[in-house]
Amino acid sequence: MRVSSPHAELAAILATELGTFDHDGLAHGLDMLACASGSLVDLGAVVRDGALAVYDDGAVDDLLIDRVVTRGRGHEVAVAVVLCELGRRAGMPVGVVAAGDRHFVAHEEVSPWVLDPATGELLDARTLPPDPYWRCAHEVADVLLTEAQRRCERDGDLTRALRVATLRCALPFDDAGQEHADAALHRLRARLN
């Protein structure tokens, strides 16, 4: 099974790095959630029908694409990534956009509508403060890894937090972003000494 969207592909790599990756569960789950047509409204049905739900303050597993698909719940960004993959499989040119701390799925050719992964409903992007902007797969991976590190530290899993911080440093950041990722890694290493 190969995922087709760069967001899902990178999310699958992260899930592999952070746990025991359930390749078969992801493949079967994506098949079960398949979207019948190429519309954002139809794509949102998996959320509206309860097959996928946003659960924002769980464990690290709620950030890992294979577990989100098999359990039917996850962090908003992880659910957006799953929706993006389902949309790509249905032939839609979709991606992830952010507005403030929120993340949505947007169709590259249909504006101003975005799909809210928390409700499965369409929203007019012009009403979202601040203006939404496209997030590349690396930016989405950074959001997932930043949240994973926070959760690992919260739960006292400093060894896994160190692995997450190391993975963040491998992302293609600009200079300021690289300094921030390096500082987070050094801070965590200092806690372990």
Neighbouring-strand partners of residue 107? 94, 110
All domains of the chain in start order, with CATH: 6-135 (3.10.620), 138-192 (no CATH)
C-alpha–C-alpha distance, residues 135 and 97, integer Å: 5
Cis omega (within 30 of 0) on the bond before 130?
A: yes
Query: Is the whole model's pTM more than 0.85, yes or no?
Result: yes
Tokens standing for residue 3: 């995922």
- The set of residues, in sequence order, having a beta carbon less than 8 Å from that of 172 and lying 6+ positions away, is 138
Please give the chain's pLDDT, 193 residues, in tens: 355 679 999 999 999 999 899 999 999 999 999 987 779 999 999 999 999 999 987 899 999 999 999 999 999 999 999 999 999 999 999 999 999 999 999 998 878 899 999 999 999 999 998 889 999 999 999 999 999 999 999 999 999 999 999 999 999 999 999 999 999 999 988 888 7
Note whether 152 and 160 are within 8 A (CB).
yes
- The full DSSP string for 136-189 is -HHHHHHHHHHHHHHHHHHTT-HHHHHHHHHHHHTS---HHHHHHHHHHHHHHH
